[in-house]
Amino acid sequence: MSRHQGIGMTSQRTRDRLITRLEREGIKSIEVLDAMRAIPRHIFVDEALASRAYEDTALPIGFSQTISQPYVVAKMTEVLLLSGPLNKVLEIGTGSGYQAAILALLAKEVYSIERIEALLRQARARFQELKLRNIRLKFDDGTVGWPEYGPYDGIIATAAPLEVPMPLLEQLTLGGRLIIPIGKQGVQNLMLYTRTHEGVEEEFIEQVSFVPMLSGQKR
Ligand code: SAH
C-alpha cells in the first residue's frame, strides 16, 4: 500500500474528520477545505508522527521547527484568497512544505523560501512525490523576499518577525495581501496587510504562535 492511501490513523476517513473540524472552527472557503482534503499531511511529518498528522496541532519537524497547525494553515490561506484567485504567491518559511503544497492547488505559481537547507531538501522530495510542479524553492533568508519573481498577489509568512519586513510589502501587487504573524516568541498577532492606492491597510486577524523569523542561512 502506498504511503498516500494510508491505513487507520492516516485513512481518508481520519482525514475527512479533520476537514469537518476545520469547518466547525469557522473555515468557510470550499477551495481551501478541498485543498486540505486533497493534500495528505502525513507525508509532511516524520513517519513516527504520521498517526498524529490529522490532529489539529502543530508537530515537530526537526531543527526546532514545526509544521503549522491545520486550522492556522486553513485560516491564513482563506484570508489570502479573499481578494480572488491567486496568480503568484510567495511563502517565507517552507518548513515541511505543507503550506506550500496547499497553496500549489490554489495558486498558479508558488515561490517559497527556507533558511534551513535540510528542510528545503525534504520539502522538495515531497513535492516530487506528490507531483506538485508549480512550486519554486529558494535556500535563503526570506526577510528580503524574492524580488526577481515579484510582485506577488499574496505573500504568507509562516515564521514571526518582530516587525513587518518592508521588502515584503514592497513586493505586493496593488490589491495584494501579506499575511504574517508579528511579535515575540510565544504569542503573536496574525496581521493582514493589503496594498492599496493610498498605501498599506492593516488588519488584525487573530492571535497565533509561530516559531521566530530568524536572519541568515543554515547548512
Ligand atoms: N510553512 C511551514 C511552517 C514551518 S515553521 C510548514 O507548513 O511546515 C517556519 C519555518 O520558517 C521554519 O522552517 C524556519 O526555518 C523558517 N524560517 C524562519 N526564519 C526564516 C527566514 N528568515 N527565511 C526563511 N525561512 C525562515
Q: In this predicted model, what pLDDT tens digit does every residue of 81-104 receive, in sequence order?
A: 987 789 999 999 999 999 999 999
- Taking CA atoms only, the protein residue closest to ligand 1 atom 11 is 93
pLDDT value for 84:
79
Annotated active-site residue in 68, 83, 112, 215: 68
3-class DSSP state of 101: helix
Cβ < 6 Å from ligand 1: which residues?
Answer: 65-68, 92-93, 95-96, 98-99, 113-116, 119, 141-143, 158-159, 211, 213-215
User: Which atom in ligand 1 lies closest to the alpha carbon of residue 91?
Assistant: 1
3-class DSSP state of 175: strand
User: Which atom in ligand 1 lies closest to the alpha carbon of residue 141?
Assistant: 23
- Taking CA atoms only, the protein residue closest to ligand 1 atom 13 is 95
- Phi, psi for residue 149 in degrees, rounded to 5: -105, -5
Give the span between the Cα atoms of 60 and 165, in whole angstroms: 26
Q: Which H or E element spans position 85? A: none
> Active site includes 11?
no
Expressed in angstroms and rounded, the spacing between residue 38 Cα and the centre of ligand 1 is 23
Give the span between the Cα atoms of 49 and 59, in whole angstroms: 8
Give the span between the Cα atoms of 53 and 69, in whole angstroms: 10
pLDDT value for 58:
96
pLDDT value for 2:
52
Give the span between the Cα atoms of 17 and 71, in whole angstroms: 13
Q: What is the dihedral of CA 36, 37, 39, 44, to 10 degrees?
A: 70
Cell 519554486 sits on residue: 136
Can you give the three-state secondary structure of 28-79, one letter per residue?
CCHHHHHHHHHCCHHHHCCHHHHHHCCCCCCEEEECCEEECCHHHHHHHHHH
Do 126 and 59 form a contact (C-beta atoms < 8 A)? no
Closest CA to 162 of 200, 140, 189: 189
pLDDT value for 9:
79
pLDDT value for 7:
59
Hey, which of 36, 115, 144, 209 would you mutate to test ligand 1's pocket, going by the most ligand atoms within 8 Å of its Cβ? 115
CB atoms within 10 A of CB 92: 27
- Taking CA atoms only, the protein residue closest to ligand 1 atom 14 is 93
All domains of the chain in start order, with CATH: 8-208 (3.40.50.150)
Hey, which of 116, 126, 162 would you mutate to test ligand 1's pocket, going by the most ligand atoms within 8 Å of its Cβ? 116
- Weakly modelled stretches of the chain, pLDDT under 50: 1
